[in-house]
Amino acid sequence: MASLKDIKRRIKSVKNTRQITKAMKMVSAAKLKRAQDEITAARPYAEKMLELIGSLASKASSDSHPLLENRGSAKIGLVLYTSDRGLCGGFNSQLLRTAERFIRENSSSEISLYLVGKRGAEYFKRRSFKILNARVIGGGRPGYGAAVEIANDVVGAYMNGELDEVHIIFSEFKSAMTQTPVTQKLLPVTAPGSTEKKEDGGQGEYLYEPSEGAVLASLLPKYVEVQAFRALLETSASEHGARMTSMDSASKNAGQMIGGLTLVYNRLRQAAITRELMEIIGGAEALK
Amino acid sequence: MAETILLEIVTPLRKLLSREVDEVTAPGRDGDFGVLAGHTPFLTTLRPGEIVYRKGSETGVLAVSGGYAEVLPDKTTILVDAAETDSEISTEAARTELQKAEDALKALSQEDPAYAQTIDKVEYAQAKLRVKERK
């Protein structure tokens, strides 16, 4: 049986933990707000870009640019976004599970990984996979520059034939409570739902200026950048959301634990007092 | 057929503008072009410059950096890396930017891939100043 002192010590330590989790929750809430603003601001551009690429890819012939060309799927590149830090509930394990599933489903192809975020890098380093590159997100807010670097690496590897297909896995930010891992095909660029596009596509062919090739050559790499950037922002917002929720429940659990321990503590204290009283009374009786 | 076109200007950081307008003029890579309702589908890259739109007797002007424009009969979408409206531009900041970009340009050779980017920077800063001078 734990002594009164032991219990007191435990209560104190749990209280300290609760303070930390509470602080982390506050910090995440503030960061989440900012990340959320950023992602809502960036979504229109990314969606417009997707729309544009969609209508473009359904109209342009697949051999007009290397990034449109379908070369099969012998060598697949997988860009996996995770967070740098833990303590955010099941956030990273969800992403890693999704990646594992993807790898299993495509086991016939040679898969190389491009890992963004420390957690994913640490996880896959211990396993035998071909790792193309691993980078950390770093502190502060995710910048467009980082997305450009990721996009350049991936497009470079794709252009010189190291990869035939590139997929990305990131966490889509729905709300602070829900984040869903998403697998998306990045390269080659294909029209999303190209069949239905053609039906309402009474728009006919585009006029291109300066030329179809020039427009595609500048637009397609841009598209990859934008997608990489969006994934970065979505993942970052999701991470903060996940951390906030998990820290909130951790604080709640700590509170519950403190309640329980305090109850035990009081009961023990009361028992000790009663016992002491009994002893005194017993002693007084004996003296009579 | 619609009388007006929906003009949307978006940058990676925000949606700058979304409204019905009568006419848009934008700086295409091969020269400025104007768009009225019912334009044929058209896709172009943009160089840094000014975008002017007109709705009735009201006109608006923005400085944009390079990007893309998609023109459809009833809609024009402009995707640019950066854009500022006349009220947002600070003449001072634009001057410093221009100065910096021009200095950087002198240090680069014409073959350097950064050369074209720096020229775009110069042009964007110049466009910002021009927008400011219109007022």
pLDDT at A140: 67
CATH fold of B5-85 reads ATP Synthase; domain 1 (2.60.15)
- pLDDT class for A279, splitting at 50, 70, 90? very high
pTM of the full structure? 0.81
Query: What pLDDT digit, counting tens, does each position of A42-57 carry?
Result: 888 888 888 888 777 7
**ipTM of the shown complex:** 0.76
Alpha helices (H) in chain B, listed in sequence order: 91-107, 113-134
Cα separation, B24 vs B55, in Å, equals 9
Angle formed at CA A114 by CA A111 and CA A116, multiple of 5 degrees: 145
Angle at Cα B123 formed by Cα B120 and Cα B124, nearest 5°? 85
User: Catalytic: A172?
Assistant: no
Say yes or no: A214 contacts chain B, CB-CB below 8 A.
Answer: yes
Domain boundaries, chain A: 48-190+204-243
* Cβ <8 Å between B44 and A203: no
Matching CATH number, A48-190+204-243, of 3.40.50.150, 3.30.565.10, 3.40.1380.10, 3.40.50.80? 3.40.1380.10
Q: Give Cβ neighbours of residue A71 (< 8 Å, ≥ 6 apart).
A: A164, A165, A188
Q: How far is the alpha carbon of A38 from chain B, nearest alpha carbon, in Å?
A: 7
The structural domains of chain B, with segments of one domain joined by +, span 5-85, 90-134
Tell whether the model's pLDDT for residue A78 goes beyond 50. yes
Report pLDDT for A198: 42
Contact A223, A188 (CB under 8 A): no
- Residues in B closer than 8 angstroms to A215, CB to CB, are 43-45, 68
Question: Of A51, A65, A206, A225, which to mutate for an interface test with B (greatest number of B Cβ within 10 Å)?
Answer: A206
Q: pLDDT for B37-85, tens place per residue?
A: 888 888 888 989 989 999 888 888 889 988 889 888 888 989 988 888 8
Q: How far is A169 from chain B (nearest CA, A)?
A: 21
Q: Do B44 and A226 touch (CB under 8 A)?
A: no
